[in-house]
Structure 1
Amino acid sequence: MMMGCPNQTALKLASTPILSSPPFLFKIPNPPFPKSPLSRPIKALSSSALLQTSTKPPQDQGAKPQWKATIDFKWIKDNKEAVAVNIRNRNCDADLDLVLHLYDKMFTLQKEVERVRGERNAVANKMKGKLEPSERQRLIEEGGKNLKDGLASLEEELVKLNDRLQQEAQGIPNMTHPDVPIGGEDCSTIRKMVGSAPKFSFLVKDHLQLGKELDLFDFDAAAEVSGSKFYYLKNEAVLLEMALLNWTLSEVMKRGFTPLTTPEIVRSSVVEKCGFQPRANNTQIYSIDDSDQCLIGTAEIPVGGLHMDSILSDSLLPLKYVAFSHCFRTEAGAAGAATRGLYRVHQFSKVEMFIFCRPEESEQYHQELIKIEEDIFSSLGLHFKTLDMASEDLGAPAYRKFDVEAWMPGLERFGEISSASNCTDYQSRRLGIRYRPSEAQVTSGKKSKGNLAPPQFVHTLNATACAVPRMIICLLENYQQEDGSVIIPEPLRPFMGDLSVITRKSS
């Protein structure tokens, strides 16, 4: 921990609940949907039998990578000092020296392979002409046996070296925005503070007590059916979840986002390409036994993979999506009073925003995403702060990340309810998502085949619009009344059949 950092409580977003069919549909904005940006069909997933889930062990260091990222090794070498500082600032265990050693070794070996290929080709050309039998035999010995066997050995070594280089280089994190605070989580700085904590003239209850008295949750039955950190929502809590999802979707769609529901099982390679580690120790990802598939921890993963291995038209950008999904997290290592109740669970519903854009526009859209989050939470009357997260809390993909933490009176602390990350081209280099700039944007004069501008990697951004259980905690605890009832915020009432208050059930 760095000395001199402001001491701030920043509790990280984890998880939330299951969704059944909504009793009230959200109001459709006018026009109803933006023009569809899908440029190709979404690839289907394989249909492995889903018998059970498990957390798989870390991948072997010598194993061949399942996929390859388009990593700019020359840039890394030319900016070695800046990359090394960035790795230290993020408290990352990537081995930059090993990566550069392997890169130099591969570069040298590639030249040797090309030299031997040249010799082999020269011998082959000589053999096309008229030759004495003895000379032909000598060339056969030289080119057919020695050069051929030597080249095969070199090429095999090159493939193994390239795989090892990929394996090590994939651990290098994204670069960091120059304004990001350096250090651990408590070095994060407050960007904005909104509202004030509500004043109560009575003893405040937490969401667990409120939920029990108002008959909104059942954790005991869920523990018997599924295990700890699962729950049933009941009665008005179900309506509240649906209202939060439908209202949030309608609000984000008004801002030009295309709605999606996503697959909730994805290939482990897509999880890795988005910057998550399904095979690491203490992973948050559930992996499916005897399969290359995982349960998603966030809709960011399937939405990120939506345009995988594509070159998008410049006219389609930016692509803005708002996705509903259930999310699943192991919550490995999570324990203690701070994780009780709905705060940290294994399954939850979430609305996630995701943007694909041109590189020069990603900072602008990052500001737009956090503004949408702040508008949503302000509309619900919450007291919250927006944090510019410190370098060690960014995770590998994020160039910069803003978290929103809301005041939870019953828990007597701020708790994270959303985050917004600019991942620049970290994910797109792994997912293979590029766009072809229009002629008006091409200033370098470089053209590719067919006199077209060369494709460039898009930038990706993601942000939480609504993680349901944390929002339920906030609403129950902030809007509780002395008689034990809970007021429903006005924006949600039309989505709950005009219900304005949750009261105790008559016995």
Structure 2
Amino acid sequence: MLRDDPDAVRASQRARGDDESRVDTLLAADAERRAAVHRADDLRAEQKTVSQSVKKATPEERPAVLERAKALSAEVKAAEEATRAADEALRAAHLAIANVVAPEVPPGGEDDAVTLRTVGEVPSYDFEPRDHLDIGTALGAIDMERGAKVSGSRFYFLTGPGALLEFALAQLAITRAVAAGFVPVVAPALVGAQAMEGTGFLGEHLEEVYRVERDDLYLVGTSEVALAGMHADEVLDLSAGPRRYAGWSSCFRREAGSYGKDTKGIIRVHWFDKVEMFSFCPPEQAQAEHLRLLQWEEEFLQALELPYRVVDIAAGDLGTSAARKYDIEAWFPTQGTYRELTSTSDCTTFQARRLGIRYRDADGKPQTAATLNGTLCAIARTIACLLEVHQRADGSVHVPAALRPWLGGHEVLSPGMSLAPSA
């Protein structure tokens, strides 16, 4: 693609606000690598010819032929080393360029997302609404003070009804995902560099990542990383349709650069649990699969009785691996605005190409797969939204019907209530 239409890649870099010169660096690295391979091939061919001529050489010719063979051996070794260096330079130049932005993506940056639709009515209250931390503290559901004592700022305990809400949301998310045909997965939260690099979470995103240097492992910020890496260097059977996983894992984010933002409560934290949808499919099916992931996310928020809007993320706010991304932002009463609760990204062939994930087409030929991801439930932030939207004047919180089977049948959470199943 880069060789055929470098201007399209330059345009994508401009749309993202990234460095266009990286395209020229990659083109040069590609040309140098091909030249290095060609030279090494030529030298090996000549070396083979000279080696065969040794037997045919006359006694007078043999010393010169042997000398040439010796020189060629050294030249071949140097050429092969140059090829390895060119391979490394090409890979580094390739990794420096983000996925090519889809043509339909809105231009601009973080503030230029386009609202596609708004669903549900923004609630009104006949009392002054309290934020989720005040509600959660009164319920005995959230303990930020002890979280900070144990682990530092942006850590927390979920206790009593808060812990039950975590389990209820995870159960609801996994149950709905399985009903939609996803394979449930409990994914590792520690992964190696191949999975992190292949999914696009190293490089410019390195400051967001926790690294265990002693073991050269990384704490994932999303189970997308482990789910993508699970099939690295494999050829998948996609003849029956997309392969879909619903991965549960703890997620860790350093939140570098977020100093002073969302310092109160559990909206922006260093650790949370999440249920993530992940799909492998042929590239021509990716756009339709992206809309299906979005639909499942919407249906989940509708089951939680949360008002939300769907936004099409602008090019300058896309992650490295995403060609297009939709966010679902739910209403937070005390902030008087919609905040991101879930997102879904079409990564086209970007991650699968890096990770060597292929499938066989109708002719049996291996092709690079497409990958897509979508958050079904980021649990901590969803709890925060539930507490705010469903709060009542007396400090209690309405429990959406979809969650009640995993909350002992309780219709309301109240301060001091028994957590035993309701009669």
State TM-score, norm by structure 2.
Answer: 0.95
Match of 2:421 in 1: none
Output one character per residue of 1:282-313: Cα deviation in whole Å (capped at 9) or x when no partner.
62111102222111110101111111111122
Instruction: Return the alpha-carbon distance in structure 1 between the equivalents of residues 177 and 83 of structure 2.
Output: 49
Match of 2:10 in 1: 84
Match of 1:365 in 2: 289
The answer on whether the counterparts of 1:398 and 1:422 sit within 8 Å (CA) in structure 2 is yes
Which of 371, 375, 390 matches 1:464?
Answer: 375
The residue correspondences of 1:249-328 to structure 2 (distance < 5 A) are 249-277=174-202, 280=204, 283-328=207-252
The answer on whether the counterparts of 1:282 and 1:332 sit within 8 Å (CA) in structure 2 is no
Match of 2:420 in 1: none
Output one character per residue of 1:402-437: Cα deviation in whole Å (capped at 9) or x when no partner.
000000112322110000011110000011110112
Match of 1:124 in 2: 51
Match of 1:215 in 2: 140
Output one character per residue of 1:132-175: Cα deviation in whole Å (capped at 9) or x when no partner.
2221111000112x211122112211211220111011111111
Instruction: Return the alpha-carbon distance in structure 2 between the equivalents of residues 375 and 402 of structure 1.
Output: 15
Q: Which has the higher contact order (CA 8 A, sep 6+)?
A: 1
The answer on whether the counterparts of 2:99 and 2:322 sit within 8 Å (CA) in structure 1 is yes
Instruction: Return the alpha-carbon distance in structure 2 between the equivalents of residues 126 and 236 of structure 1.
Output: 84
- Cα distance change, pair 470–349 in 1 and its aligned pair in 2 (3 A): same
Instruction: Return the alpha-carbon distance in structure 2 between the equivalents of residues 375 and 351 of structure 1.
Output: 15
Instruction: Return the alpha-carbon distance in structure 2 between the equivalents of residues 360 and 132 of structure 1.
Output: 63
Instruction: Return the alpha-carbon distance in structure 2 between the equivalents of residues 430 and 504 of structure 1.
Output: 51
Q: Which runs of 5+ in 2 are unaligned?
A: 418-423
- Cα distance change, pair 254–268 in 1 and its aligned pair in 2 (3 A): same
Q: Which runs of 5+ in 1 are unaligned?
A: 1-74, 443-452
Match of 1:176 in 2: 101
What letter is aligned with 2:409? D
Which of 146, 161, 164 matches 1:236?
Answer: 161
Q: Runs of 4 or more off by more than 4 Å in structure 1?
A: 279-282
Deviates more, 1:491-500 or 1:282-291: 282-291
Instruction: Return the alpha-carbon distance in structure 2 between the equivalents of residues 306 and 345 of structure 1.
Output: 27
Instruction: Return the alpha-carbon distance in structure 2 between the equivalents of residues 198 and 247 of structure 1.
Output: 24
Match of 1:135 in 2: 61
What letter is aligned with 2:10? A
Corresponding position: 1:386 with 2:315: no
Match of 1:414 in 2: 338
The secondary structure found in structure 1 opposite 2:61 is helix
Match of 2:359 in 1: 435
The secondary structure found in structure 2 opposite 1:338 is coil
The answer on whether the counterparts of 2:190 and 2:217 sit within 8 Å (CA) in structure 1 is yes
The residue correspondences of 1:323-334 to structure 2 (distance < 5 A) are 323-334=247-258
Post-superposition offset of 1:336: 2.2
Which one has a larger percent helix, Structure 1 or Structure 2? 2
State TM-score, norm by structure 1.
Answer: 0.80
Instruction: Return the alpha-carbon distance in structure 2 between the equivalents of residues 272 and 159 of structure 1.
Output: 20
Post-superposition offset of 1:229: 0.5
The secondary structure found in structure 1 opposite 2:123 is coil
What letter is aligned with 2:416? K
When the two chains are superposed, the root-mean-square deviation of aligned CA atoms in Å is 1.5
- The number of residues matched between the two structures is 416
Match of 2:128 in 1: 203
The answer on whether the counterparts of 1:402 and 1:420 sit within 8 Å (CA) in structure 2 is yes
The secondary structure found in structure 1 opposite 2:55 is coil
Match of 1:104 in 2: 31
